[in-house]
Structure 1
């Protein structure tokens, strides 16, 4: 039986193989030189997963990269099987003469990341159906409660989650971005944003998330998996 891994265990199991843990999934980016080579990566990844491919692997192919995602659809989480599949896929990618994982120091803007939109609400259950219908979104696998996040069922848009408000805050923006980045890229991203005119609003819950704002006070949270277990 598959064992669901903690965030720390999932990250530790795959980090040296070029994968990163982001929002309950393992992701890696494989730079390629053509669409044909991206297809080669996809074929190698599917072969490495074998019968587990359909239940664990998602693939996004571009002419310059193949982005691979692993998550157990049954558990809506990372299991020991996903970690093993990540190791198999990385070995298969290396056999193609390619590299999976971060491209730090190569001039690439980032390796992998995931964007969420956070909506502040006094009554989450009352507004959630509107956003579900308007965006054509669906319940996140394993999370269908009246206050749970929403996701694009075909993976084209960012996830939506709802932040509970205790009282109205008319002078504060009530929709903000959450950007989940690899834990070992977060500091560089924050330093770049501050150097570009941003300011640090709060690091109270670092490294899980740090709140930044632009010159007019519009906020973004730079988030990682760290600091959420326990």
Structure 2
């Protein structure tokens, strides 16, 4: 049996996170299947009663995919409750190149990515600058407060 991985992120505004995470990951919004104009139309054709769908669900993409087909699908699931505590799982965006790359180069790469993502709506929480350990990373939050790292 083949297994695939989907990452699900609870949120209040899927459209906002689709926009942010397509920028962060280089993904694209997932188009509805079979030539449907929206996911809502697709779900309707699959027999899902309209009254079972929250208002606005499926009118715009709520998932993103890796255009190269290598990474997992990410679905932004609308939930009614706000985020209240620290994530138990987070993403690390590995842009530095690893320990084989000089620390100064890794730091420059991480900094450039952080600048791009803060421009897209992320907030820096803390910088982990530990030159004695040859380590540099930045902890950020996406527009809804979900933590992730750029390393």
Q: TM-score range by the shorter chain?
A: 0.3 to 0.5
Greater relative contact order (Cα < 8 A, sep 6+): 2
User: Normalising by the residue count of structure 2, what TM-score does the alignment of the two structures yield?
Assistant: 0.37
